[in-house]
Amino acid sequence: MEVVDLKVCLHCKACEKALRKVLCKIRGVKCVEMNMALNKITVLGYMDRKVVVKEVRKTGRRAEVLPSPPCRRLPPSHRRTRPAAAALKCLMPSCFL
């Protein structure tokens, strides 16, 4: 599963709604989280980051990929008992509403 963080200028709720609609239509996208205060969009799913950037740019907005933070390493005992998907919890699963 891939996490793509983008910096996109979000002016209003209409911008947020339009981008969410476009991003949720991309094949493989599981979750889209938006933070208007930070102008940050986080996309979670099985997709190519180039496709995500391309779709955002089609809407007329400039998208910049933010560097992803280094992965936290779990101790070996947690790796076996805790699935990776459970560690990534979507706060706003609006793609499925």
CATH number where 44 lies: 3.30.70.100
Task: Report how far apart the first and last C-alpha atoms of the chain are (Å, whole number).
Answer: 21
Residue at 84 is within a domain: no
Question: What integer pLDDT is reported at residue 22 of this predicted model?
Answer: 94
Q: What is the pLDDT of residue 1?
A: 84
In a domain, 37, yes or no: yes
Residue 39: give the domain boundaries. 2-65
For 54-88, give the DSSP string: HHHHHTT--EEEPPPPPPPPPPHHHHHHS-HHHHS
pTM of the model: 0.70
Q: Is the pLDDT of residue 5 over 60?
A: yes
**32 domain-assigned:** yes
Residue 79 pLDDT:
47
93 within a domain of the structure (yes/no):
no
Structural domain contains residue 75:
no
pLDDT at 97 over 60: no
Number of structural domains found in the chain: 1
In a domain, 35, yes or no: yes
Which of 21-25, 68-72, 77-81 is predicted with the least confidence, judged by mean pLDDT? 77-81
